[in-house]
A = this chain, B = another copy of it.
Amino acid sequence: MRVALIGGGVIGGGWAGRLVENGVDVVVHDPHPEAERRVREVLDNAERAWARLTLVPRVRGTVSFAATLTEAVAGADLIQESAPEDETLKRRLLSEIDRQAPPQAIVCSSTSGLLPSRLQADMTHPERFLVGHPFNPVYLLPLVEVVAGALTSEESVERSLAFYGSLGMKPLRVRKEVDGFVADRLLEALWREALWLVHDDVATVEEVDDAVRYGAGLRWAQMGTFLTYRIAGGEEGMRHFLAQFGPALAWPWTKLTDVPELTDELIDKIAAQSDAQAGGLTVRELERVRDDNLVALLQALRARDYAAGAIVKEHEKRLLDAGGGRTEERDPEQPHLYESAVDPSWVDYNGHMTEARYLHVFADATDALLRHVGVDADYLAGGHSAYTVETHLRHLREVAAFEPLHVLTQVLDTDQKRLHLFHTMQHATSGETLATGEHLLLHVDTKAGRAAPWVEPVATAVARAAAAHNALSAPEGAGRAITLRRVHEA
C-alpha cells in the first residue's frame, strides 16, 4: 500500500505518522520550504507515541518527499489532500490530483467541513472522491469522518472505510452532507461559547479549559453526551432526562451563533492568557505532554475494552495476526500458560502493582494449572482440594496498571500428596520476567481436614505433567531461601 499526502502541515504530518506506524509507505508533497522538517518532527512524535501505545511487533512504512504533485501521486493507491481550508484552492488541487493519479486510486480530502459535492465538482472522476476528515493528533485519535458527495461511488466509500479501519481508526460514515459534518459542528459550538466566556471576562482560557477537563471531558473520553445524559436521568432514563432538563435549554444561557469579533484587543487577550497557561512550554513540548496523556488514556480504555480502547485492542490483534500470529496450541512439554493483566485497582500510589497482587496472579495461575489437571468444580464437590502451604516470591521488576501479563508454570516435582510448582511472571508482549513464585501445595481431604493422596483422574494428570516438565531445566531462583548475606545488590 502506498499513499500520497498532498499537504504536510499538522494534519498531513499526522497522517504520515499514522500511516508509517502501520506499515504504509508514504510520499509527501508540500511546496512549503519547511515542510520536510515539520513532517519529520511529527513523525518523531508518532513513533514515540506508538512505541508507548503498543508493544505488538510492527513493520514501519517508509517516507519520501516529492518535489511535484505528479511525482507524489504516481503509483499511489490513495491520495489524501490536507491543504488549507480554502474551497477554491482545494478544488484546483483536487482536479489536478484527479488528472495525475492512477485510475484505480481513491482521492480523499481532510477538510473539516467543506462539502464534498462542491469539492468534487471540477473532477473528471468525481466517483472516486470523498472526505476523510481526521482529528489532531491524527496518529493517536481514532476518529475519521467519511463523507460522500453526490457523485461519490459506494465502492469508493467502502474501500476508504476498510482502509481507514485497517489503520486502527474508527471511521464514522456521515449520513447527510452538511457543512461542518458532525464532529466540527459540536466542537465549534463549544469553541464559540468558550470565546464568548473569555471575551466577557467570565473566565480565562485556563479556567475554561479546567471547566472541561476536570468535569465533562472525563465523561466524553468514553461516553458521548447522549449516553451520559441517559445515565444522568437516573432510573427513568432518556425520556425523563429530556422532560426534566429540556426546558432549561431554552434559558438564555448561551450566546448567539454570532462569533465575537476577533479584534486585536481580543486576540491579544487570548494570546496573553494562553501564554500564561502554557507555563513556558513550547508547542513541541506540549505536544509530547498531550501525546503521553492520550496514550495513557487509550491504554486505560484498552484494559476496559471500551470506546477508543476497544479500537486499539482490536487493532493490536490485527497487527499480531499480520505479524505471523502466535499458535494457540501449546506443547504439553512446555510450561503451562496463564494470561492476565494488571487490574487498575491493584496499583498503589506509586503507580505500581502492589506486592500482594503478584501472589494474587500466581494463585490464579495455580488455579489454572489445577483446573488443567482436573481439579474442577466436581472434584472439589467430591471432597478434595489442593491448598498452598508454602510460597517463595521474587519481585524482579515493577509493573504498572493495565500491563498485560502471562505466567509460565512449571511442575518441579510431585509425590502422592504434594505438588511443587514454579511460576514465572512475564510481561506478555516484551517477555521480560517480572517476578517468580515457587509454591508447595498439599492435597487435602476437605471433609476430614487432613492431607490425602491425589484421586484419579487428577493423580495421573499430575504425574504426567511432572514427567513432561521434568525435561525442562530447573528455573533460575528455584529452591532458594531468603538471607540478607546471599543477595546481590541491584
Contact = CB atoms under 8 A, between A and B. Distances in A.
Contact of A215 (B141, B390, B444, B482): B141
B351 A302 contact: yes
Interface string A112-132: 110000000000000000000
A420 B253 contact: no
A110 B293 CA distance: 31
A51 B345 contact: yes
A242 interface: yes
A237 B287 CA distance: 12
Interface in A403-437: 412-415, 417-418, 420
B230 A415 contact: no
A296 B304 contact: yes
Interface string A339-376: 00000110111110011111110110000000000000
A59 interface: no
Interface in A279-305: 283-284, 286-287, 289-290, 292-304
A463 to B, nearest CB: 14
A66 interface: no
Interface stretch (A19-27, A152-160, A325-333, A394-402): A394-402
A231 B482 contact: no
Nearest to A389: B395
Given A190-B189, A283-B235, A482-B440, A221 B218 contact: yes
Interface in A182-206: 182-195, 197, 200-203, 205-206
Interface in A52-77: 52-56
A10 B221 CA distance: 21
A313 interface: yes
Interface stretch (A88-96, A100-108, A168-176): A168-176
Which of A209, A278, A479 is most buried by chain B, counting CB atoms within 10 A of its CB? A209
Contacts of A413: 484
Nearest to A286: B231
A252 B115 CA distance: 12
Contact of A349 (B55, B184, B195): B55
Contacts of A293: 221-223, 301, 304, 306-307
A10 to B, nearest CB: 5
Given A143-B210, A257-B255, A484-B418, A186 B176 contact: no
A249 B172 CA distance: 23
Contacts of A140: 218
Given A182-B203, A290-B222, A347 B216 contact: no
Nearest to A235: B283
A459 interface: no
Interface string A447-464: 000110000000000000
A145 interface: yes
A330 B347 CA distance: 32
A290 B417 CA distance: 38
A354 B55 contact: yes
A331 B275 CA distance: 47
A233 interface: yes
A9 interface: yes
Given A253-B185, A293-B307, A418-B487, A313 B392 contact: no
A481 interface: yes
B226 A242 contact: no
A439 B145 CA distance: 54
A98 interface: no
B286 A296 contact: no
A3 interface: no
A478 to B, nearest CB: 8
B249 A259 contact: yes
Nearest to A294: B218
B189 A211 contact: no
Given A203-B175, A224-B210, A184 B253 contact: yes
Closest 9 CB pairs of A and B: A209-B224, A217-B220, A143-B215, A300-B300, A180-B253, A221-B221, A356-B360, A52-B345, A481-B481
5 contacts: A53-B345, A205-B226, A213-B307, A221-B293, A439-B482
Given A136-B228, A208-B224, 18 more contacts: A143-B210, A183-B211, A205-B226, A211-B224, A217-B224, A218-B308, A222-B297, A227-B286, A231-B286, A235-B283, A237-B274, A238-B274, A242-B271, A257-B257, A292-B304, A356-B363, A390-B392, A420-B483
